[in-house]
Amino acid sequence: MDPFNENKPKRSPWLVVLAVLTFIFSGFSFLTYFMLSFTSGMLPSVTEMYENMGMPGEVIDAMQQLTEVSSWQYFLLSLGYALAVVGAALMLKINKLGFHLYVIAQIWLFVMCNLVIKGALTMNWMNIFTTILVIACYGILLREALMNRDDGNQFSDYEEVNDQDDDDE
């Protein structure tokens, strides 16, 4: 225990679990969309290869929809997921800014997927519900951590000790 940071708020284990899940999902999504922003020109040939392999029609249709997304849109999606990872990292440090960045990232991703790109990347109701649930859980856990912070004076213990010493003389 660090004697100089006694007023540091305590993290909930659930906040750590939620952040780890965010790191996994958003980190993987960031890497995927970041790579697609540079390699999206190869998607038509991959789609053709899948057709030759006899993949189901649903997979071919999804791949064809992904070829319609331009590389700059994939790049903007990757930035949204990077912002979500940064927000989760800041929330692990019990920083309110992290929550705000995470919410902004989720709004950004919703707008990009549902209003700008559409097609195969459109969020369904379950994705939207899960996003709102995760935001609510982050908000509750971060508020709890911030409220459990001891806002007392860091020198109060020192003053009490000195007061007792003065009474003895």
Asked whether residue 134 is assigned to any structural domain, the reply reads: yes
Domain, as residue range, for 82: 13-148
Phi, psi of 70 (to 5 degrees): -80, 165
Residue 114 and residue 124: Cα distance in Å, rounded? 9
The pLDDT score that the predictor gives to residue 153 is: 45
pLDDT confidence tier of residue 156, bands split at 50, 70 and 90? very low
Asked whether residue 155 is assigned to any structural domain, the reply reads: no
Asked whether residue 70 is assigned to any structural domain, the reply reads: yes
Asked whether residue 164 is assigned to any structural domain, the reply reads: no
Mean of the per-residue pLDDT values for the chain?
85
pLDDT over 90 (residue 160): no
Quick one: average pLDDT of 70-90? 96
Asked whether residue 116 is assigned to any structural domain, the reply reads: yes
Asked whether residue 128 is assigned to any structural domain, the reply reads: yes
Asked whether residue 157 is assigned to any structural domain, the reply reads: no
CB 78 within 8 A of CB 30: yes
Structural domain tally of the chain? 1
Find the angle CA(147)-CA(151)-CA(154) to the nearest 5 degrees: 150
pTM for the model: 0.78
